[in-house]
Amino acid sequence: MLRHYNIATVITDSPAKENLQFLSDVVITADHSFIRFHGRNTKGHYWYNYLYSKQELEPWIEKVNQINNQTKVLRGYFNNHYGGKAIANALQFKEMTGTSLTQLELRVLKHAEKYFSNEDFSNTTITFSSS
């Protein structure tokens, strides 16, 4: 029915204990797609209080490429918004997909790296250019 009405399934990244893992499989039902990165916090009930590491985001690059080959539009939404973590991860992921960041985006990402240095973000490798 989703294909018939051109409605996209929502592909998610969520904590495994929530039994939503099957949604992280790539299922295309429309000419557009949507990925939600909820976070993986398993302490308490706040999934969104989570900072993804580069290693956790890396497998999504292949999935994004696969989805881009099958759809006209792909939207990604980082819902791990607690304390600005979504902004940091969205910019990091944008860079990981090969999209150049603007100077402002690079400054924001650099600031986020310092701000979140006590969290998992410190385990990531980010390259900044001065151009």
Residue 58 lies in a domain: yes
How far, in Å, CA of 17 to CA of 47, rounded?
A: 11
Q: Is 6 helix (H, G, I), strand (E, B) or coil?
A: coil
Chain segment 42-52, per-residue pLDDT in tens: 887 677 889 99
- CB distance 20 to 10 below 8 Å: no
Residue 131 lies in a domain: no
Residue 29 lies in a domain: yes
Residue 128 lies in a domain: no
Give 92: exposed, middle or buried? Use CB within 10 Å, 0-12, 13-18, 19+: buried
How many separate domains does the chain show? 1
For 59, the domain range is: 10-123
The torsion of the CA quartet 59, 64, 70, 74, rounded to 10 degrees, works out to 150
Written as one letter, the residue type at 26 is V
Q: What would the two tokens of residue 97 be?
A: 């997909």
- CB distance 52 to 120 below 8 Å: yes
> Which CATH number is 14's domain given?
3.20.20.410
C-alpha distances in Å from residue 58, one per residue of 6, 39, 42, 88, 131: 29, 14, 20, 15, 25
| Confidence label for 21 from pLDDT (cuts 50, 70 and 90) | low
pLDDT score recorded for residue 129 = 41
Residue 95 lies in a domain: yes
Residue 27 lies in a domain: yes
Residue 5 lies in a domain: no
Residue 3 lies in a domain: no
Chain segment 68-125, per-residue pLDDT in tens: 999 999 999 999 988 889 999 999 999 999 999 999 999 999 999 899 886 655 444 4
